[in-house]
C-alpha cells in the first residue's frame, strides 16, 4: 500500500474511532496528469487557493503516477 493511502486510511480510522464525522470526496485526476505539466498544475492549484495537505496529496500523487 502506498504511504499516502496508508496515511489516509489511518487518518479516517482515527477520526472514526473518535466518533468524528468523515467526508470523503473522490475525484480522478489521472487523465489531467497525462496532459498537464507537473509544475503548471501545482501553480494553478496554488492560485486557486488549494493548500497543504490537499496540495501535497495531489502533487505526491502526480509524482507517483508519472513514474
- Max distance between CA atoms of the chain, in angstroms, equals 40
The three grid cell numbers given for residue 36, joined into one nine-digit string = 498537464
Which pLDDT belongs to residue 49?
A: 94
What would the pLDDT profile of 23-45 be if each residue is shown by its tens digit? 888 777 666 666 777 788 889 88
CB 58 within 8 A of CB 29: yes
Which pLDDT belongs to residue 62?
A: 59
Which pLDDT belongs to residue 15?
A: 92
Which pLDDT belongs to residue 63?
A: 55
The whole-model pTM stands at 0.45
What residue segments make up the domains of the chain, in order of their start?
3-66
> Over the chain, what is the mean pLDDT?
80
How large is the average pLDDT for residues 36-61?
A: 85
Looking up cell 504511504 gives: 3
Q: Is 41 exposed, middle or buried (0-12, 13-18, 19+ CB in 10 A)?
A: middle
Amino acid at each position: 500500500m502506498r504511504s499516502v493511502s496508508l496515511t489516509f486510511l489511518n487518518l479516517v480510522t482515527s477520526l472514526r474511532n473518535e466518533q468524528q464525522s468523515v467526508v470523503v470526496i473522490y475525484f480522478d485526476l489521472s487523465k489531467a496528469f497525462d496532459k498537464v505539466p507537473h509544475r503548471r498544475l501545482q501553480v494553478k492549484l496554488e492560485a486557486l487557493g488549494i493548500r497543504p495537505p490537499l496540495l501535497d496529496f495531489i502533487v505526491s500523487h502526480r509524482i507517483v503516477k508519472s513514474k
